[in-house]
Structure 1
Amino acid sequence: MKVLVTGANGFVGGAVWRRLHGMRDVQAVGCVRRAVAFAEVDALVASVGDLSVSTDWSSALSGVEVVVHAAARVHVMQDAATDPLEEFRRVNVLGTLQLARQAAAAGVRRFVFISSIKVNGEATQPGHPFTADDAPAPLDAYGISKMEAEQGLRELAAQTGLELVIIRPPLVYGPGVKANFQAMMRWLARGMPLPLGAIHNLRSLVALDNLVDLIVTCLNHPAAANQTFLVSDGEDLSTSQLLRRMGQALGKPARLIPVPSALLKLGAASVGKPAVAQRLCGSLQVDISKTRQLLGWRPPVSVDAGLKKAAEGYLREASV
């Protein structure tokens, strides 16, 4: 089976490509914008330029049976674009549909689209997790673009017979993770006191290895065709619990000060950063029962094992 993985030098796409590259009976082609930026040049790599409505995928798609589409314009905290939604649409909607149309025309059997839990929304009430079949309710430009890409892909699949699989992960962590999760590990590794010891929310996360395992499962599983799946580690944590267990993984016990979440929210709002408090104090849970039941899938990696691997990756990078 020949599989094309877009974004193969990214966090998720790279992990998928490396997993497939070591599997028997799978010919994995990593797709990147510029091959010079891809370290593993001894393997099959396709360089196609930017992901856009004009990208020509014909050479990369030759003989491909399954596409795993992980490339995207990702969510950023400080977006400098004049019109962020238009920029997200240009890449995540128009670029994705261009790839899918050419994939269908080239005879690709299945298209696995890595979407985002942001299609569901930004927060849940404790005990009321998002499900795969909830009505979409994205609130930011990134989430809207992923929702619109999903809608366009479903229409294309209905017209062409292309099998579509949509996976919506929450926050993904693992070796090489960047942004807020990396910053959290840096704070803990330095022993910084954090005012996050009294937060009793619940948030779903997914270890990179668990997400990759589900993606690989969806390459061939007959029940995955034309379905949307949520994914997580199967254990939800509060922010306080996550910090404590991440500290254990780093060998640096978390120094947490029990400041009430109401005060944290008030302080964040006073400096114009209410969204930061929402991520730290709010809940976001996902229900993976559909994923378990339809696919017979279970997260192979525990939360603590996933955190340990992320910690080891961070410590290796920090020592360089």
Structure 2
Amino acid sequence: MNINIIGGSGFIGRNFMNLYKNFSSIVNLDKNEPTEALCEFRKVDVRDKGQLRNLMPVTEWVVLLAAEHRDDVSPVSLYYDVNVEGTSNVLDVMKEKGMNKIVFTSSVAVYGLNRSNPTENSDLNPFNHYGKSKEQAEQLLLKWYKEDETNRTLVIIRPTVVFGPGNRGNVYNLLKQIASGRFLMIGNGQNIKSMAYVGNIVSFIKHCIDSNLQGYHLFNYVDKPDLTTNQLIEISETAIGKKISSLKIPYSLGLTAGYLFDISSKIMKKKLEISSIRVRKFCATTQFSSIRVQDMNFVPPYTLKEGLNFTIKDILNEGGSIEDSNF
């Protein structure tokens, strides 16, 4: 299997390349050097169509992971430069070179906050620039697919928050705070969190490619069963061997504190761990349907609890690189 993985130096990309490194030809196109030499690397910025044209080889599949996804990207135009224009550039080069199969990692952020278990058929209502840019990228991909439905294959995967060893995202921040004893609950903890362990999401991407899917496919990716924030904390406490404070800060008070941290961040010109958007995400219900994944006869190699335990072990060992994800 020949694959171009665009954005392979990131968290999901590194784990994906590990699955194929012994029996596949993969080229990693990324603006950042990889931390491990898992496959051939070519330094490419998706915003530069000329670089893509010159350096992207002809392969059977393209896996497009590259994205601006942190909560605090500045200027916000970067979300659209990378996530929308970058996708457009990739599709243009694919058309020029006759490549017709792509897997695109979008995000459940396209649905917005506090939705009631949306399916792939639910209306989209993104609340931030990340989600809006991902929705626009999906529209470009659908247009590309409809130009030649007979010969093209489009697989769009909308993962929920992805976590695992080596990632420094919002799940890591939560688990780290619990481990350090600095965690304080905001809200009542009854909000439901759909989550995805990185080892499972990359296995599902591989499953789609190995199944040689044809046509158009859209999947939410979630590892079931969903957990409430209280259940997530209980699992974490057991794994770490620590109990957290029973004090719960009302949501309104926590959000106000988040806004104050926003102001402080701007004044100090420094990124802080707490922000209003992170408080909103933490207290929001982010539950999503994954029926279409189940219909694919895909069996995740890890349970959600196993993934959390692996991640907590990594935190206690202080391994991995600094990144962010979308809770």
**Does 2:184 match 1:194?**
yes
1:62-98 Cα offsets, whole Å, 9 max, x none, are: 231101111111132x3331xx1x3211111111111
Runs (4+) of structure 1 moved beyond 4 Å?
none
Which whole-Å CA distance do the structure 1 matches of 2:298 and 2:81 have between them?
Answer: 34
2:142 to 149, 154, 159: 154
1:89-148 Cα offsets, whole Å, 9 max, x none, are: 111111111112212332323100011101111222xxx301112121111111111000
Q: 1:170 touches 1:205 (CA, 8 Å); kept in 2?
A: yes
User: In the superposition, relative to structure 1, how do residues 191 and 52 fare at CA in structure 2: closer, same or farther (>3 Å)?
Assistant: same
Q: 1:119 touches 1:136 (CA, 8 Å); kept in 2?
A: yes
* Aligned CA-pair RMSD: 2.3
User: In the superposition, relative to structure 1, how do residues 301 and 43 fare at CA in structure 2: closer, same or farther (>3 Å)?
Assistant: same
User: In the superposition, relative to structure 1, how do residues 6 and 271 fare at CA in structure 2: closer, same or farther (>3 Å)?
Assistant: closer
How far residue 154 of structure 1 moved from its aligned partner, in angstroms, is 0.7
What is residue 80 of structure 1 aligned with on the other side? 74
**Does 2:209 match 1:230?**
no
Mapping of 1:87-106 within 5 angstroms?
87-106=78-97
Q: 2:186 touches 2:254 (CA, 8 Å); kept in 1?
A: no
Aligned-partner residue type, residue 96 of structure 2: A
User: In the superposition, relative to structure 1, how do residues 225 and 254 fare at CA in structure 2: closer, same or farther (>3 Å)?
Assistant: farther
**Does 2:308 match 1:310?**
no
What is residue 117 of structure 2 aligned with on the other side? 129
How far residue 149 of structure 1 moved from its aligned partner, in angstroms, is 0.4
Q: 1:196 touches 1:257 (CA, 8 Å); kept in 2?
A: no
1:278 to 266, 280, 289: 280
Question: Is 154-163 or 195-204 further displaced after alignment?
Answer: 195-204
Question: Is 279-288 or 64-73 further displaced after alignment?
Answer: 279-288
Mapping of 1:31-70 within 5 angstroms?
31-34=29-32, 37-41=33-37, 43-48=39-44, 50-70=45-65
Mapping of 1:137-216 within 5 angstroms?
137-160=125-148, 161-195=151-185, 198-216=188-206
User: In the superposition, relative to structure 1, how do residues 113 and 155 fare at CA in structure 2: closer, same or farther (>3 Å)?
Assistant: same
Aligned-partner residue type, residue 142 of structure 1: Y
Q: How many percent identity over aligned positions? A: 25
How far residue 296 of structure 1 moved from its aligned partner, in angstroms, is 1.4
How far residue 235 of structure 1 moved from its aligned partner, in angstroms, is 1.3
Q: 1:116 touches 1:169 (CA, 8 Å); kept in 2?
A: yes
What is residue 6 of structure 1 aligned with on the other side? 6
1:257 to 217, 224, 246: 246
What is residue 104 of structure 2 aligned with on the other side? 113
Gaps of at least 5 residues in structure 2 are 260-274, 322-327
- Structure 1 SS opposite 2:157: strand
Matched residue pairs, number? 304
Which whole-Å CA distance do the structure 2 matches of 1:46 and 1:130 have between them?
Answer: 38
Aligned-partner residue type, residue 74 of structure 2: A
Q: Flag the structure with higher strand content.
A: 2
What is residue 28 of structure 1 aligned with on the other side? 26
User: In the superposition, relative to structure 1, how do residues 240 and 59 fare at CA in structure 2: closer, same or farther (>3 Å)?
Assistant: same
1:22-57 Cα offsets, whole Å, 9 max, x none, are: 3x3x212222214xx223347311222x22153432
Question: Is 308-317 or 215-224 further displaced after alignment?
Answer: 215-224
Which whole-Å CA distance do the structure 2 matches of 1:31 and 1:318 have between them?
Answer: 25
Which whole-Å CA distance do the structure 2 matches of 1:32 and 1:243 have between them?
Answer: 35
User: In the superposition, relative to structure 1, how do residues 279 and 254 fare at CA in structure 2: closer, same or farther (>3 Å)?
Assistant: farther
Which structure has more RCO (C-alpha within 8 Å, separation ≥ 6)? 2
Which whole-Å CA distance do the structure 1 matches of 2:309 and 2:50 have between them?
Answer: 39
How far residue 157 of structure 1 moved from its aligned partner, in angstroms, is 1.4
Q: TM-score, normalised by structure 2?
A: 0.85
Gaps of at least 5 residues in structure 1 are none
Q: TM-score, normalised by structure 1?
A: 0.87
How far residue 204 of structure 1 moved from its aligned partner, in angstroms, is 0.2
Q: 1:233 touches 1:301 (CA, 8 Å); kept in 2?
A: no
